[in-house]
Chain A
Amino acid sequence: MYRRSLGAHVRASLEYEADFWILVFGVGLSQCVGLVFIGAVFAKVPHINGWGLWEVVLMYSMMTIGQGCSELFAEGSWDLPMLVNRGELDRMLVRPYPVILQVCSFRLGMNAFGTLAVGTVLLVTALARLHVHWTPARAAIALLVFASALVVKVSLTVIANASAFWLRGTISTFAAGADQLGDLTRYPLTIYGVGLRAFLSTAVPFAFVGFFPAAWVLGHGQSAWVGLLTPLAAAYCVTVAVLAFRFGLRRYDSAGN
């Protein structure tokens, strides 16, 4: 059902956006800005807090793929302020399908494909350069951890946007700000202070998108095992997102016609 809805949107968008490839290219370019920054830093120093170039690229790529997934699966949540304000949730509320999923599939981020492509290339390149001792078990766990990491990212986007139920604004400034926080975790978490570190790994666990999973795969640092908690973080984020919608919808007032 969800796939169908998104698929229909892809077709619809493709009809309108003849410049699909330009879009993909543009996104690639915007993702490269961060890479240039990483490149510039590592041209001067070989390590940041003990993290090498390809290790950082690995974290960075996870965050990029996560962002792509958000654009693919949760882009509609950015429309939540508009949907709430104009009473457009009415029609979703009378359908036998969770509103949270209807909202997420309301729109498709056309950037998604570009972002995912860039992220995948980075991930594969980084893993090829790094020396990981792959065993079947390790690979299986890595898959689970990475998949969970993506769930964390998508859920955090949805949670940030669910603030619209309470803020009642017409644009998602708050959510955009919250989302930017995530960009901090494109780089090793250890470069930040204790407070920020704790914040990004518990309350708003962006660190579980890139940093902890990467640290676990690489077996890097004393707290590498934390990466194994990623599925837990994912469960936590999904629960919060679902609850945010449940409580938010109780506050929903529709709109006089």
Chain B
Amino acid sequence: MDEPLIRARALTKTFRRPDKGPGLAGSARHLITRKYTEHHAIDGIDLDVAAGEAVAYVGRNGAGKSTTVKLLTGILVPSSGEVRVAGVVPHQDRIANARNIGVVFGQRTQLWWDLPVRETFTLLRDMYRIPPERYRATLARLTEVLDLGPLLPVTGRKLSLGQRMRADLAAALLHEPPIVYLDEPTIGLDIEVKDRVREFLRDLVANGTTVLLTTHDLGDIEDVCRRIVIVDGGRIIHDGPLAAVRDELARERSMHVQPAVPVDLAAIRAALPGTEVSGEPGEFSIRFDRFAYSAGQVAAAVMGLAEIRDFRIDEPGIEDVVRRVYEGGLVESPTGAPA
């Protein structure tokens, strides 16, 4: 394959926002002045995704993740730049594109609000012209892995968030699309459902589906994606293997400790040179480099000095990743896609 499955070049999306003053007076004035400010939500994105790749697309709130997904799916028409997905320009040939893709927006359901889930699926079957045999098999498989059995007779509006997300995932995958976009598929879910969804995504990728996954939860991408793309301010600021980011991030870990009795922080500093110890004798944090110390070594050193009542190690978050990129902590090529 010469052309990557998903290909975006210098993609931009500019939203016009009405310049309204506050209140009714502001709205009335806007009717006459018609002033707008331009907002570059996506500002020149180049992205290549090969068939079968699973890409994590992460960034802070308002970075432009959802807007990118909407451009790739053909929901929005780009302000400039090019986009091709499986040889199709999504916003020009919407219907052809729709057959190739499955989309889940975690923040918004795609189910029919007033229909039972089963009816929604039947409608989708007709819409995608899925052969009956195929449909039965796929539905049976999805029903099993997503535990949809009890949800099928329930009306869309009556589903809980976790139930809805599972039904939404199934609705997006009934036609077995080769490309799947997931925009925060685990938002608001409890650990149990989250795990189920993550496992489901792992299988999806293992079966060769091309996946673009946006999320705020680095836990979602751990075992699913091998490549991570980081966006900020509508631009890609990093693109490379996930392992590199993980290692880089994992360099710095924080262990929060509550000792049974207050300890002398100076003693801990002495026992763990090169770490940064902060807090009170009764509750403190140790920042350490994972390549200098293992978590076990740090815990052992502390335990040598005091009995530990409780401790936890902080997972690094998206904000840490973005911060590290800006600090120059990530040395991967900032734009080059992996071969």
Contacts and interface: CB of A to CB of B under 8 A. Distances in A.
Interface of A: 1, 4-5, 8-9, 12, 16, 87, 89-91, 93-99, 250, 252-254, 256-257
Given A95-B127, A96-B128, A253-B15, A90 B115 contact: no
Given A93-B73, A93-B75, A96-B99, A12 B114 contact: yes
Given A93-B75, A96-B95, A4 B126 contact: yes
Contacts of B33: none
Contacts of A257: 66, 105, 107-108
Contacts of A252: 75-77
A8 B128 contact: no
Contacts, number: 65
Contact of A94 (B15, B74, B77, B123): B74
A98 B95 CA distance: 8
B70 interface: yes
A201 to B, nearest CB: 34
Nearest to B62: A256
B268 interface: no
B143 interface: no
A211 to B, nearest CB: 37
Contacts of B99: 96
Contacts of A97: 95, 98, 127
Interface in B78-121: 91, 94-96, 98-99, 101, 103, 105, 107-108, 110, 112, 114-115, 119
A253 B76 contact: yes
B123 A4 contact: yes
A98 B66 CA distance: 23
30 contacts: A1-B126, A4-B122, A4-B126, A8-B115, A9-B114, A12-B114, A16-B114, A89-B75, A90-B75, A90-B105, A90-B108, A93-B73, A93-B74, A93-B94, A93-B98, A94-B74, A94-B75, A94-B98, A94-B101, A94-B103, A96-B95, A96-B127, A97-B95, A97-B98, A97-B127, A99-B94, A250-B91, A252-B75, A252-B76, A257-B105
A90 to B, nearest CB: 5
B115 A91 contact: no
A93 B76 CA distance: 9
Q: Which of A1, A94, A99, A252 has the most CB of B within 10 A?
A: A94
Interface of B: 15, 66, 70, 73-77, 91, 94-96, 98-99, 101, 103, 105, 107-108, 110, 112, 114-115, 119, 122-124, 126-128
Contact of B119 (A8, A93, A98, A250): A8
Contacts of A254: 70, 75-76
Contact of B115 (A12, A16, A89, A253): A12
Contacts of A8: 112, 115, 119, 123
A93 B95 CA distance: 8
A93 B97 CA distance: 10
Q: Which 6 A-B pairs have the closest CB atoms?
A: A96-B98, A91-B110, A257-B107, A12-B114, A93-B75, A96-B95
Contacts of A5: 123
B258 to A, nearest CB: 38
Contacts of B115: 8, 12
Contacts of A12: 114-115
Contacts of A90: 70, 75, 105, 108
A233 B123 CA distance: 33
A95 to B, nearest CB: 5
Contacts of A253: 15, 76
Contacts of B114: 9, 12, 16
A29 B99 CA distance: 46
Contacts of B66: 256-257
Contacts of A91: 105, 108, 110
A154 B84 CA distance: 36
A257 B108 CA distance: 8
A87 B107 CA distance: 12
B285 to A, nearest CB: 34
A99 B75 CA distance: 11
Nearest to A13: B114
B73 A94 contact: yes
Contacts of B107: 257
B133 to A, nearest CB: 19
B73 to A, nearest CB: 5
Given A4-B122, A8-B119, A8-B123, A95 B108 contact: no
A17 to B, nearest CB: 12
A92 to B, nearest CB: 9
A252 B15 CA distance: 11
A244 B115 CA distance: 29
A230 B15 CA distance: 42
Contacts of A93: 73-75, 94, 98
Given A9-B114, A96-B98, 8 more contacts: A4-B122, A8-B119, A89-B75, A91-B110, A93-B94, A95-B124, A256-B66, A257-B66
